[in-house]
Structure 1
Amino acid sequence: MLAPNDVPYEAGSNAKTRDRDVAAKPSRQSKVIHVDMDAFYASVEQRDNPELRGKPVAVGGSQERGVVAAASYEARKFGVRSAMPSVTAKRKCPDLIFVKPRFEVYKEASRQIGAIFAEYTPIVEPLSLDEAYLDVTENLKGIASATQIAEEIRTRIRADIGLTASAGVSYNKFLAKIASDYNKPDGLFVITPKMGQDFVESLPVAKFQGVGPATAAKMNRLGIKTGFDLRARTLPFLQQHFGKSGPFFYWIARGVDDRPVRADRIRKSLGAENTFSEDLFTFEAARDAFRPIIEKVWRHCEGAGIRGRTVTLKVKYSDFRQITRSRTSAAFIATRAEFQQLTLALLGPIFPVQRGIRLLGVTLSSLSEERSRREDQLSLSI
């Protein structure tokens, strides 16, 4: 719990009262583990193909026009990273081996990892196929030490699935996620309540969850380079410069994060994209290439019982310049035909194009579970 005199305040009794009230925010003392698989896609490929072990591997599209989806640690030593154009990755690492992704295999490995989590706690919040939060404050095995649980989970993943995982242990989600990255790969790091504030103070703001490159650059321009600098700023100052994110930054600078681990977490968006073997120049060609992408996203929505209201189009040109266009419907999109119509309505106005299109993608957001909405409607009608 944060003491009132730990919080900076502006001159004047009103400012003191305001910051003292803010400082009274409770901090939920939980035991949280963040598990992050090491170079997940690439590690699965190296596990299944011994010839790839110890070599620089990139999972992704073709060498000429694709994008790296994941890179092994051997490839990362050369500066190869996910989302990097394949041609750039090959330039950085001439011996790079490209492997086509096998998403069904990755999903199966993720399912097996999730089954191990479930032996310890039902409160698991997956963030993606390769990382998740676990609340082990009260766990199924009655183990008092969250560190012991994290070690057991890492050992089980190595023994049963043949992969390595890094884990962070702390008293909230923010610090657990930072900790999991501290000793990567195949590492474990613990941030105790006594360590929390001092650890955050020494951390560059670019390492903070929720602080992307643009926000980090803005913070740097304001003289905020570390957690110590961030903590020295008042809540009104952070709200003025960062809007709704201001309170979040204010509290994480103090090692406080009251967000619970949510086992019923609904994903914020669902999308798909494709890089084409040849550039597209006409609306007709783009429309035809887009339809399988639209179908893929809608199929996932149908399978998960999810509907959304916001459609976002992503276009990447041959010179790698990228644009996005979005439209939000007043009601949830109910059919694939409606989804396709909205997507193509965003696509049409970008034509004619001066440069060829190398990638198209579409994302559906503002999501809601169809089942929950139906239950709400039924309860209202009764």
Structure 2
Amino acid sequence: MEIPLTAIIDASPLGTEQNIEFIFTVAIAEEKFHLKTNNDGEMCAWLNLINHTRNGNRISSFSSPNYYHESKAMSDESLITSFTRMKELLFKREEELLGNLDELYKIYVDKATQENKEISEKYEQECKNYEKITSVLENSTSVISKTREIQNATKAHFNFKELEAFNVSKLIVSIQEENLDKLIKSCITVCLGNPSEVMIRRTHITRALKWRYTGERIDAITFSVNKDIKLTGVGLCTPYKPGRITYVKEFEVLKGGSTNSSSIYRHSQIVPIHSNPESSIFKVVMEKHVLIKKDSKYTVYFLNGGAHTYKCVDCVSVVEGPDRVVWTFVNSIFSPSHQSNRCDIVCGPIADFYFMVV
């Protein structure tokens, strides 16, 4: 059958796909015919050719490649095909989300129920612990008796994590030192605080995340003061994850601004630093006081290992502490045999300095 191009009064895409064959419709007088092509480009070329001749143009002036590129972007069939595909993708995604919604909700409910159960059990246990401690405090006649009775209550009796604090007690007592061993069990470490001890902190931001300890890298900071003092301790950041431990493997005070300076103090024991939800700083108590002469440089030197800890940020290089003791901090000079863990005057795990004015 032959259809003269000049006899066609209308030509338009059908807008559907059948067996991957693209269909378009032509109208001649009162009759319509459906013509099929193999692809969208061929269909668009035919439609553009028909419309080109219907407008009175010669067939010889028709350029199929040019019309193909224009029609590919603007033809109704291309838009319909893209829109149909988008609808299919959106519908498929909607089915996936709805299919997972019930499963995710069930997981959430189960997790919330489990957490509520654990919190309720802990709350009930802490209420029992509170009642036990209250009964001890009410029934005992003296502070010493109360302390002994609470210390004798082991974790098995209380199952109360916070009561581990009774194993390391800081006491202020008004009794003679020779009587201490009679009042407190031998396994208890007693730290007698000195009322003249004060401290400075390099920053107010001590809970930034996070400080890593890898290999044999050293954290060090160099300082000087404007008055003679005795250094009594240094505060380090604690692990930020519950239940984790960081270990101070080496702690030295050096006379000078380099990690290779002569050592005037060396800690004899490895110090464990446990995570503490109530404080981000742990005080490393020095085994003896170290005299720090004014206007001289000293360096604190730490080799730590274990869990990642908080870090101090936005530290200041000059701090005025109690009794107008001015501390000036500078970056330590590292010898070729030492690797830096990046502690400097701006950030790091070294937070506090405890001291007494001479």
Normalising to structure 1: TM-score of the pair?
0.19
Q: Is the helix fraction higher in 1 or 2?
A: 1
Q: Is the strand fraction higher in 1 or 2?
A: 2
Normalising to structure 2: TM-score of the pair?
0.20
